Every structure is written in structure tokens, then in C-alpha cells.
Amino acid sequence: MSTIFSKIINREIPADIVYETDNVLAFRDINPQAPVHILIIPKIEIPKVTDIKIPEQSILMGEMIDAANIIAKQENIDETGFRLVFNCGGDAGQDVYHLHLHLLGGRILTWPPG
């Protein structure tokens, strides 16, 4: 089932897009939890981490990591450090069932997360 992220991909609703390839889109989170909070998504609809098909989608997953590294550099947090997070399912607080990688940085991030 399509989510709000499909509408962002299709430019039906606006987003602050920071990076795009044929397969991946990245945009700023509407409710940022850090000075840099960007969501990296595949353009195809994969609801959550447990739906990822390996090896078929291995390259796509690699593209998401590559996007994270490129954006971290763009945002000048590649040296200071950043966190990548996939929330998967209800206990992890996943709200949008279109796979997304959170890229967080620009402040000290505590551990363990909430």
C-alpha cells in the first residue's frame, strides 16, 4: 500500500530534497530530531526491513548506504560522525511503511537510543 513517501517521490507533495538518483531519493525529515535529519528511501515500495529481498535488492541497499555517505559529506558531518537508523515495526516506532534510512547528525547522539 502506498504511503506519503510515494507522494513525495511523485512530487505530489513537497519535500526538501537533498539527493536523488534513478533508484533512491533523500529529503529532510519534517520533524527533525537532530540538526541534520534526512530520510533516504528507495523509489520502489518496500514496506520495511524484513521485506528486503537479498540478493535481488542488494545493489539497491548499497545505493542507500552510498547516498548516506554522499549526503553526510554534503552536510559536513562525515568527519564528526553520524548515525544511520532503520526502524522496523511497531516496537521500533516505525510510522511510515515505506523503507527509510534515517541519517542523523550535527550534534552528539547519546546511546542507547530511546
**Least separation in angstroms between CB 21 and ligand 5GP:** 18
- Of positions 75, 87, 106, 109, contacts ligand 5GP by CB under 6 A: 87
Catalytic site residue 100?
yes
Burial tier of 30 (Cβ tally within 10 Å: 0-12, 13-18, 19+): exposed
Should residue 26 be labelled a site residue for ligand 5GP when binding is judged by CB under 6 A? no
Residue 27 contacts ligand 5GP per CB under 6 A:
yes
Q: Is 28 exposed, middle or buried (0-12, 13-18, 19+ CB in 10 A)?
A: middle
How long is the chain? 114
Binding range to ligand 5GP, per CB under 6 A, among 21-29, 53-61, 65-73, 74-82: 21-29
* Residue 96 engages ligand 5GP in binding (rule: CB under 6 A): yes
Cα–Cα distance, 35 to 91 (Å, whole number): 25
105 is written with which cell numbers?
A: 547528525
Rule CB under 6 A: say whether 45 interacts with ligand 5GP: no
Is there binding between residue 44 and ligand 5GP (CB under 6 A)? no
